Structure 1
Amino acid sequence: MQNILGDRRAIVTLLGPALLVYTLVMLVPVFWSLGYTLFDGNAISGFTFVGFDNLARLFTDPRVADALRFTIQYALVITVGQVALGYLLSLFYVFILKNRGSVVRTLVFFPVVVPTVAVALLFQKMFEVAPQTGPVNLLLNVFGVESVDWFGSAGSAFAVLVIMDLWRSMGFYAVLLYTGLLDIPDDILESARIDGASTWRVIRSIVLPLSLPVLLSSLIFSINGTLKVFDSIVALTNGGPGTATTPLTLYMYSTSFSYGEYGYGASIALVLTILCLLVTVFIFRSSRRDLTKG
């Protein structure tokens, strides 16, 4: 193995194809998109060089501010919900179900593999108010509450979106965090129990500190995924009512492909990329600072 790693030809042979594919699939489109920010137009009408006009337009476009605000709000709420519910479920698997929870884990994980469009159609029918009354409004009517137009206002539409995305994603984070908890040595937990530590004390003083690396990974994975949300919002609300639930990704898509403004759409994508990088760096620096203090 040492001879292979010391041979430059072997390294190029082993890594060359993977690096070539990564460059063509990832790096080239990134730089191509950056180049679009300097132009106005599209492939049909042609491109006109405008310099930094597209980037300057970002600061005066109120829809960018609204989309950015919604993107951050959505990302914070869903990330906290995904990781918190996933961690609680993983603790439930380890300390309550133990080795008997395979069926429960499968059922909780099942929404993850269901197509997003199917999940969105299900929730549309569940919260429907017209032409038919959905199960949620029927339940409200039973208790004497009038039916609610869940998709008619920004707050209720956002609430349905949060419920749907947490339901379909918490099983994934539960399994991810569960595998991290399984790496904690059993002898440490057993020693704590022998010393008389309660389950809550074991979780707070042993399990939580030892599971911080997998929690950090889940946090980064979740925040980057939620900042780039697209499919679930398009399938459930399509950005409505109005533009109340329109994230940066949907605004970028409509700008580029509905209005044919490739350059301005690429500029919006640049904002989203910078936002993802800043959030990731912030999480890494915060976690490193906490570890140093510890």
Structure 2
Amino acid sequence: MFASIQQRLALPPKAIIWGLLTANGFLIALMLALAKTATAYGVPAITYAFWQTLIAGSVLLLCSANIRRVLDKRLTTYFVISGLTGIAIPNAIAFFLVTKLGAGFTGIMYALPPIFTFLIATTMGLEKRSWTKLAGLSVAVSACAWIVLQRHSEMSQSNGLWFALGLVIPAALSIGNVYRSVAWPGQTRPMTLAAGTLLASAAALGVLAGLSGTPLIAPEFGLRFVPLIFLQGLLTALTYYCGFELQKRSSPVFYSQLGAVAAVFGLIIGVAWFHEQYSLTIWLGALTVIVGLRLSNRAPQK
């Protein structure tokens, strides 16, 4: 699909991956905004995440030219681990926290995976330690800590455990990033991997909903929930398709900038859509996070 578009428009590969990065970051931030709207109707976070991933996975499965590949037992482990770490766990937490801490702040958590990914990769010996990366990550971590402290002081009714829970989002995403890089199945299309990952996530969320007694369908959700979740499902399908295409076409360093883009869009959407208010220190902190991540992702000079 993207190859044909690239041929028609004669766009250079670099422009394609930058477009994917920007679009994917915006879609992630938009998903959080839609989730906040849905949960305002009384829809549990697990329920919303279940239908979101089930619809998205089903759409990509139908669009896939090789449905049997998604059902390949040899890919089951990949789909389960990728689905849990990359979608089910972080999204369920994010959809819960977005009603407590706001769309902008929750989006900041998506800017942190490069930090956790770097720590995991260096510990496993997958990447060499770099003073430039260390300096950049130190700046980003300090800025994120400052944002948390500032946001916590502005929200008198906030529970400190919510902020600690938010750190599970980048931790899970980072584990998923490392795993996908190491275990990426050869000769498998990004759409197939995205479909299988989303459906595995939906299955895990369905089991979690059953164990926790969370209803997947209830009259009190209202009819407004139906078009909203279908829109979310379509956006999610596009988001994860773009994400797998981006991961296939770019380097891990370039891909790691996705969270920072999503964080910026998250703050903008939080202000424009929900009229959230952020102090100047939070905006400066968000900018510092991006600067730190950009510094950590700079290629070493030869």
Same-fold call, TM > 0.5? no
The structure showing larger relative contact order (alpha-carbon pairs under 8 Å, at least 6 residues apart) is: 2
The TM-score, its normalising length taken from structure 2, stands at: 0.24
Alignment TM-score, normalising by the size of structure 1: 0.25
Query: Is the radius of gyration larger for structure 1 or structure 2?
Result: 1
